Chains A and B, each alone.
Chain A
Amino acid sequence: MKRQLIAFVTLSIKGGIRDRVLAAILVVGLLLLLTTPVVAVFSMRQVVALATSYSLSVISLVGLILTLFMAMSLLARDLEQRSIYTVCSLPISRSSYLVGKFLGFAVVIFFALAILGCFTAGAIFVLERLYPPDRLITWDAFLLGLWFQYWVFLITGAITILFSTVATSTFLPLALSVGIYFGSYSTEAVRYFVQSAGGQERLNPVVRLLGRLVYWILPNFSAFDLKSQIIYGVALDSKAVLLAQLYGIGYLGVLIVLAMIAFRRREFL
């Protein structure tokens, strides 16, 4: 079982490394990060803050594209090439196949994020010396912010894989994941509005219930967003950080188990 899992992890990592589309996306990301100083000098008062904001935006966008492409092709490629039939005919559990593939995906995304993160850290380090800001970047917040960004990608990837286990087309899981990714940064704001006096006054009970339901079902990515803490040195709330991490583990676990159940029940014609 363990050996099978490792084999699938390795296979998934190799697939990710060999994928030219993924490499191209990463190169584009690195090229965009190289333009950080050019963008940052336009700032009137906060060169380093603008540089950090820009590079974190690039990381988030490039990371999202990498996540979606890799997670989408993780099962789709095996289905297209019909190698899934070979896997299913072997005495291997489908769950270890799925978990192995997901772990491989997690390793590739981790290293991609590490490369982008190192580039960003280098750019910020140089700019901080050229244009000393009022407040220096706190590197522990930077690392924690990148770590949480990684968890956002893991959850988004798991959502795409979950949809891939049930959907017959490759486009549908992608479209749904993109929608959920962007929506998940607003669920907290929706909940605040629904609970506010204005929300109670303006919205009917059904819409209010829907708003609350959306908050409990979709992931709350705002909890993983530490950009203000990184860019402006706003103090970290250790309790919120710890709870967000536990929430992330829980959410990811639920998604993976659901994907395993769905994948085990799926019939390949």
Chain B
Amino acid sequence: MVTGERGLSIRFLVTRMKRILLFLFFLILLIGSQVPLTSVRSSRPPEARLAFFPPAPVIKAMSGDQYQFLSHVISLQCLFYFGTLVEERQPVKDWNRLERALYTSTRLDPYNMDAYYFAQAVLTWDARRPRQAIELLEYGFSHRTWDWYLPFFLSFDYAFFLKDYAKAAEYMAKVAELKPNVVWLPTLAARYFYEGGETALALAYLKEMISTARNGAMKKHLEIRAEALEKILQTEKAIQLYRERFHKGPEKLEDLVSVGIIERIPEDPYGGTFYLDKEGRVRTTSKLAFGGRSGGAHKN
């Protein structure tokens, strides 16, 4: 009887030990795989971090009434992906995927302002695809008819990138209609249509974008661009001074340093080098993007 009881308790202990050992085995497997898995996932190329999204009609058909939130999820994914690249100072390698994601996002929710803001901030300068950005923004403005930001962006894009001043004026008139009390608007409009100072115009526009930017990565991205433009503007002013003094333009930027107008050639925050092109305009080898990659439609 006693032997039987002892046998039972031994069997109970063995079963218990087996369970503990099994638990420990799986726990070690979990921790042992999670650590290398994390490092493998983190070392993926940045392009792999932006998922492939099916076309908007497919998402809409599969998601019931969740499509609006999914539109936000897609635009946030674009922001996170781009934010990581800004932090790591890396260029975007697959603009097509990013552009497609933004297109899908706006087709799912045509009112999603985050997608339009992102398209304006990134597709125009970085991807050098102002026409595609304009297409998205015009689609957005056909829905967000009350929002003065969209015609403001469109006006800038038409004036700065496409040199279509008639269209720019058309959209600026819409901004004035929707937001009649904006103090800085007449100044900006004057620069658009009379002064023609492109760098000053771009700076004024960027400062407005920065003042309302909420996302840290996006703000940083815009500030770097503003810093670069500020340096270009300073150099342009120095060239103007050189012209006034010597009645001709400098052949290279180093001439400005040798005559003492500037102490040194400013540093491009994108890691490039400023230089003078054949027309005597200030350019940079970075093309105002990390990695200096051209997206196609527009140059510097």
Q: Assess the B214–A234 pair: CB atoms within 8 A.
A: no
Distance between A80 CB and nearest chain B CB, rounded to angstroms: 29
A50 within 8 A of B: yes
A227 to B218, CA, bound (A): 28
Q: Number of residues in B with C-beta < 8 Å to the partner? A: 29
Residue of A nearest to B61 (CB): A186
Residue of B nearest to A135 (CB): B146
Q: A44-B114, A44-B213, A231-B111 are in contact. Are A53 and B72 (CB under 8 A)?
A: yes
Q: Assess the B68–A228 pair: CB atoms within 8 A.
A: yes
A42 within 8 A of B: yes
A189 within 8 A of B: yes
Complex contacts, B64 vs chain A, CB 8 Å: 60, 64, 181-182, 185, 221
A42 to B218, CA, bound (A): 11
Q: Assess the A44–B66 pair: CB atoms within 8 A.
A: no
Residue of A nearest to B80 (CB): A42
Distance between B44 CB and nearest chain A CB, rounded to angstroms: 22
Instruction: Mark A99-128 against chain B: 1 for CB-CB distance below 8 A, else 0.
Output: 000000000000000000000000000000
Q: Is the interface of B mostly helix, strand, loop or mixed?
A: helix
A54 within 8 A of B: yes
A189 to B113, CA, bound (A): 24
Complex contacts, A56 vs chain B, CB 8 Å: 68-69
Complex contacts, A186 vs chain B, CB 8 Å: 60-61
Distance between B59 CB and nearest chain A CB, rounded to angstroms: 11
Residue of A nearest to B116 (CB): A45
Complex contacts, A185 vs chain B, CB 8 Å: 60, 63-65
Q: From the candidates B76, B146, B147, B214, name the one contacting A47 in the complex (CB within 8 A).
A: B214
Instruction: Mark A47-91 against chain B: 1 for CB-CB distance below 8 A, else 0.
Output: 101100110110011001000000000000000000000000000
Complex contacts, B60 vs chain A, CB 8 Å: 185-186, 189
B95 within 8 A of A: no
A42 to B114, CA, bound (A): 10
Complex contacts, A138 vs chain B, CB 8 Å: none
Chain A positions near chain B (C-beta within 8 angstroms): 42-47, 49-50, 53-54, 56-57, 60-61, 64, 134-135, 152, 181-182, 185-186, 189, 221, 225, 227-228, 231-232, 234
Apart from the given pairs A46-B113, A46-B114, 7 other A-B contacts in the complex at a CB distance below 8 Å:
A43-B72, A44-B215, A46-B112, A57-B65, A64-B64, A134-B147, A225-B65
Q: What are 10 sample pairs from A and B whose C-beta atoms fall under 8 A apart?
A: A42-B215, A44-B113, A44-B213, A44-B214, A44-B215, A45-B113, A57-B69, A185-B60, A221-B64, A228-B109
